Amino acid sequence: MELKSNQVRLMMLQVADAIIVAEPMLSQADRDLGDGDHGLGMKRGMEAVKAQLEPMEPTSVEQVFVTTGTAMMTSMGGASGALFGTVYRAGGKALAGREFFDAEGLALLLEAALEGVMKRGGAKPGDKTMIDALAPAAAKARESVGLSLTAALTAVAAAAESGKEASKAMIAQFGRAKTLGEACLGFPDAGACSVVIMLSTMRDFATCGN
Ligand code: ADP
Ligand code: MG
């Protein structure tokens, strides 16, 4: 199974709605470790994504993801706007020329997203950021290229969830949480929670949404 560009548009609209619904949970996650603005920032970003994608008649898979990233980057502001914008802009560009979104496309998207975020933000695995969900997701996607998109997304969402859980035991090296030291322990990173919601919504769309 593979998705055409218009199905990818519908999938990203579902992702946007899932993040908007999760705003209170994401706000609480950031309140536990940071300044509490992550949920509202992501909600603002996803409302901008919806405004772009709702009327769109996409001509490529790349266009849907790059438009998503640009909308987040220009509407959210701050570090996470630039970083989540990079996830989708860098990830989308890696899909240039591909007609469908399939398991190989998922691996290309996540690998480029991870590389872009690491280059832009300077964090690495273990620093208690979104990278701790993205890195295991990208590695699992590469292992899953021979599978159907649904099977690959199922494995990838589970890997991201494990990474988010593992972030509970990490001491933050970036953002506001850095000043907390050991008080970080036991809480997951808020950006990693967003990555899990995005990938599990993609999984649900691939499973039942088309
Ligand atoms: P801000 O840090 O400006 O308050 P948000 O609260 O929206 O922005 O986002 C915080 C999230 O951004 C963190 O939970 C983390 O996942 C992610 N993040 C922050 N700095 C970095 C970085 N250098 N690299 C990767 N992700 C980061
Ligand atoms: Mg914050």
Atom of ligand 1 nearest to the CA of 190: 14
Cβ 190 under 6 angstroms from ligand 1: yes
H-only helix segments in the chain:
5-21, 23-33, 38-53, 61-76, 78-93, 103-121, 131-143, 149-166, 190-208
- Please give the model's pTM, rounded to 2 decimal places: 0.97
**Would you give the DSSP letter of residue 102?**
-
Distance 141 CA to ligand 2 centre (A): 28
pLDDT in tens, 66-79: 999 999 999 998 88
Distance 34 CA to ligand 2 centre (A): 5
- In this structure, what CATH number is given to the domain that contains residue 187? 1.25.40.340
Cβ 83 under 6 angstroms from ligand 1: yes
Residue-number span of the structural domain to which 189 is assigned: 5-207
Number of domains into which the chain is organized:
1
Cβ 121 under 6 angstroms from ligand 1: yes
pLDDT in tens, 119-166: 999 999 999 999 999 999 999 999 999 999 999 999 999 999 999 999
